[in-house]
Amino acid sequence: MTTDQLRTALSELNGQRDLTVAFAGIFPAGAGMHNNALLEIRKAILIPDEPDHLVKVTDGTGVFMIDAERVVWIRIGIS
């Protein structure tokens, strides 16, 4: 996935939905070889494109930078 594709997919994040992102090639401690790491962000907001062109999402307390090339899938929903 490209940065532009990811930014488009995340464009509906406005603080009212949660985001879950699965990353390829990142294995949490104790996970099997076929498991991927998950990042879960409640009430996620996509930060507008900045001069560094990184995809950034915030929950209001922290900023998460997402490597678009490692994203396997995303889920946007209300918990």
pLDDT per position as a tens digit, 48-61: 999 999 999 999 99
Half-sphere exposure of 35 (CA within 13 A, CB side): 8
> Look-up: residue for tokens 């949660």?
18
Mean per-residue pLDDT, 38-49:
95
What DSSP element (H or E) covers 47? none
d(CA 58, CA 46): 7
Task: Give the tens place of pLDDT for each residue, 1-31.
Answer: 899 999 999 999 999 999 999 988 766 555 5
For residue 38, the model assigns a pLDDT of 87
